[in-house]
Chains A and B, each alone.
Chain A
């Protein structure tokens, strides 16, 4: 009945928490976090956040694979390739207009590669942001240590002075 009505009632397990205020153990614990892959509304999602490689998406990779990619060089090379392909498309449209499809496919391949390269820069950016935040935090902590040292010395000095004043007026 609950699946066919247009306004289904809330899930029934709220009743299990009736005595939660008096006895925290009488109600079930919340479920542990999901790990691995889980289906949601018919689609499969995964808990691991990894950028899928181009082959996983069925797209040819135009820039060389390897552990260390020279991003700037590859991005500039892809940009030049893109401009050349756009010129080729203009030529083909003038001379042999029926063969545009191959050229358009090549251009979209280059765009996919460009975006994939830019996306693969994001983990690097995340690590660089983390380094920056840590450096800022260390700087702030050092500043706080200096401040506290200075104030403590100031307080000691004031205390000594006041003791001297008091000793100077024995009553």
Chain B
């Protein structure tokens, strides 16, 4: 995939990681004490709660990793300085050069075809002479 598409994919990945992170946190957050008049809510210690404590770390690490990947891709962009006009100038130069080389190729082709025709003519004459010299036994 070309680098701009990779960058676009990376942006979408960062967005997906972000909303998945927030969604998971909101979904799995344990109950919290809101007022001093009520007791602390009971949070049973089990495998789930241990996983719930680990998840923010893993997800935020993934998010930061994705952001670093994006930075790396941005650094790898092959952006030549000079902008639009420089590119247009280079394109016109290359077109002129292409034209010149194309004409030279055409000349060479025509000369080669002429020589081929001459060789074929010579071969035809040689073959005719051979046939004329051979006496039927």
Q: Which residue of B lies closest to A111 (CB)?
A: B15
What is the interface of chain B mostly: helix, strand, loop, or mixed?
A: helix
Give the CA-CA distance A111 to B14 in the complex, in Å.
10
Residue of B67, B98, B119 touching A155 (CB-CB under 8 A): B119
On whether the beta carbons of A76 and B83 are closer than 8 Å, the reply is: no
> CB-defined interface of A69-90 with B at 8 Å, one 1/0 digit per residue?
0011001100100110010011
- Kindly identify which residue among B2, B67, B108 contacts A148, using a CB–CB cutoff of 8 Å: B108
Q: Is B79 among interface residues, defined by CB-CB distance under 8 A?
A: yes
Q: Which of chain B's residues have a CB closer than 8 A to the CB of A144?
A: 105
Q: For chain A, which range describes its interface: under 10, 10 to 19, 20 to 34, or 35 or more residues? A: 35 or more
Known A-B contacts A72-B75, A125-B4; A134 and B95 likewise in contact (beta carbons under 8 Å): yes
Q: Are B22 and A71 in contact (CB under 8 A)?
A: no
Question: Within 8 Å of chain B (Cβ to Cβ): is A135?
Answer: yes
- Which residues on the A side are within 8 Å of B14 (C-beta)? 82
Question: Interface-forming stretch among B33-41, B47-55, B84-92?
Answer: B84-92
Q: Within 8 Å CB of A115, what residues of B?
A: 8, 11
Does B7 sit at the interface, judged by CB under 8 A? yes
Question: What is the CA–CA distance of A151 and B119 in the complex, to the nearest angstrom?
Answer: 14
User: Nearest-CB distance from B25 to chain A (Å)?
Assistant: 8
Q: How large is the interface on B (under 10, 10 to 19, 20 to 34, 35 or more residues)?
A: 35 or more
Report A132-168 CB contacts with B as 1/0, cut-off 8 Å: 0011011001101100110110011001000000000
Partner-contacting stretch, out of A1-9, A43-51, A116-124: A116-124
Complex CA distance for A131 and B8, rounded to whole angstroms: 24
Asked whether A86 lies within 8 Å of B87 as measured between CB atoms, the reply is no
Q: Which of B22, B80, B115 contacts A89 (CB 8 A)?
A: B22
Q: B18 contacts the other chain (Cβ, under 8 Å)?
A: yes
A67, A148, A155: residue with the most chain B Cβ atoms closer than 10 Å? A148
What CA separation (Å) do A72 and B73 show in the bound complex?
10
A148–B114 CA distance with the chains assembled, in angstroms: 13
For B102, the chain A residues whose CB sits under 8 A away are 141
Q: Which listed residue, B83, B91, B94, B112, touches A68 by the CB 8 Å rule?
A: B83
Q: Does A130 contact B (CB under 8 A)?
A: yes
B90 to chain A, nearest CB (A): 6
Q: What are 18 A-B interface contacts by the 8 Å CB criterion? A: A71-B77, A76-B74, A79-B70, A79-B74, A83-B64, A93-B22, A93-B26, A114-B11, A115-B8, A115-B11, A121-B4, A123-B84, A127-B87, A127-B91, A141-B102, A141-B105, A145-B108, A159-B119
